[in-house]
């Protein structure tokens, strides 16, 4: 999960054969997202029912930070701050450890979907005033259910940096909400009008990552191969309404929101084209394991025979008239 710090622009050379901007410089708007490492604090299991997924059980880590426990209270100042105090003591006794292992074994036996619970570290950022961490579920894919449970349990209380998930020049999807504008004035029940305006869920696909930065390294600055001037990614005076970007960052194309996800659409070249059906079949035949004239010739013969039969039938039809 990332937090939008602000926007800037970059100048890059376009590498797209067939485009008018090929081998030319262009100026593009980019968004700077601050992405501090996320902490894995739990695992939750789901089972399939006729009405959809249902929660089976959940296992939490022993040590939970204050910023996460604030999420479970409306007013942390007036609260007793006892969230997860009894649960954390399970790790100190043998009976408690057996209960936790029993919950994990129950997941391995009955669960259909395994997801980890991860939270952000808002205390590492200067741009947000809030102290509550954002908590989210991330699904674990690949392998069997017991392997997923062991994999998730092994990541308890560990930090996952941004460069462990996303790399430079990768296409990702962005999930977030639009700018909220409140309710429209005079919204009647009899008139088919929406009262809500803004603050809607949106998903923007195929956003390219131009830069992945890590705090304290050269990747966190604006140094490039063509400009070696040492400058910080944060402009003078800080980003408007955000201050400074001090932790990991991601530089993505266009205006973005918050949550980052791997791209669901397969990358494909949209500029490729064929003039004849023979070209298409010849191209597909070349992708086979044993391309050659033997695999391409039958397609050509089939096209010629079908064309000849059409011409022959039309010729005899005209002669019959």
List, for residues 102-131, the tens digit of each pLDDT value: 999 999 999 999 999 999 999 988 888 889
List, for residues 54-98, the tens digit of each pLDDT value: 999 999 999 999 999 999 999 999 999 999 999 999 999 999 999
pLDDT-based confidence at residue 293 (cuts at 50, 70, 90): very low
| Residues pairing with 115 in the sheet | 44, 139
Say yes or no to pLDDT of 230 above 50.
yes
pLDDT, the chain, mean: 83
What single DSSP character describes residue 19? Answer: S
Summarize the confidence of residues 133-151 as an average pLDDT: 94
Nearest to 162 by CA among 256, 229, 261: 261
Residue 304 tokens read as 């010629």
Classify burial at 2, counting beta carbons within 10 Å of its beta carbon; exposed 0-12, middle 13-18, buried 19 or more.
buried
Q: Are 251 and 219 in contact (CB under 8 A)?
A: no
Q: In what order do the strands lie in the sheet with 171-177?
A: 3-13, 25-34, 249-253, 201-213, 171-177, 259-262
pLDDT-based confidence at residue 224 (cuts at 50, 70, 90): confident
Q: How many CA atoms lie within 13 A of 59 on its CB side?
A: 26
Nearest to 236 by CA among 247, 244, 248: 244
| Residues pairing with 201 in the sheet | 177
List, for residues 165-211, the tens digit of each pLDDT value: 888 889 988 888 888 888 777 666 677 666 778 888 988 888 899 98
> The tokens 């997941």 sit on which residue?
107
List, for residues 308-317, the tens digit of each pLDDT value: 666 666 656 6
């Amino acid at each position: 999960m990332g937090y939008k710090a602000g926007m800037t622009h970059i100048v890059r050379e376009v590498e797209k054969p067939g485009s008018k901007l090929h081998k030319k410089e262009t100026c593009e708007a980019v968004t700077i997202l601050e992405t501090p490492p996320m902490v894995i604090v739990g695992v939750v299991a789901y089972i399939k029912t006729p009405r959809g997924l249902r929660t089976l059980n959940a296992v939490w880590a022993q040590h939970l930070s204050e910023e996460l426990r604030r999420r479970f209270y409306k007013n942390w100042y007036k609260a007793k701050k006892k969230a997860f105090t009894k649960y954390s003591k399970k790790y100190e006794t043998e009976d408690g450890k057996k209960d936790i292992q029993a919950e994990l074994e129950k997941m391995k036996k009955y669960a259909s979907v395994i997801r980890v619970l991860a939270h952000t570290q808002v205390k590492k950022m200067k741009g947000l005033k809030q102290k509550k961490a954002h908590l989210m579920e991330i699904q674990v894919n690949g392998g069997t259910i017991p392997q997923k449970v062991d994999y998730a349990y092994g990541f308890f209380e560990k930090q996952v940096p941004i460069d462990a998930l996303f790399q430079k020049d990768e296409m990702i999807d962005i999930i977030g909400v639009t700018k909220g504008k409140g309710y429209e004035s005079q919204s009647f029940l009899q008139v088919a009008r929406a009262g809500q305006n803004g603050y809607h869920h949106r998903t923007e696909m195929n956003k390219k990552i131009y830069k992945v930065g890590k705090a304290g390294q050269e990747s966190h600055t604006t140094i490039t191969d063509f400009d070696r001037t040492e400058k910080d990614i944060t402009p003078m005076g800080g980003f408007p309404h955000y201050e400074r970007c001090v932790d990991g960052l991601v530089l993505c194309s266009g205006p973005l929101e918050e949550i980052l996800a791997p791209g669901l659409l397969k990358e494909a070249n949209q500029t490729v084209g064929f003039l004849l059906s023979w070209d298409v079949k010849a191209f597909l035949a070349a992708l086979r394991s044993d391309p050659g004239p033997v695999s391409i010739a039958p397609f050509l013969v089939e096209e010629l025979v079908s064309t000849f039969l059409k011409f022959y039938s039309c010729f005899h039809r005209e002669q019959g008239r």
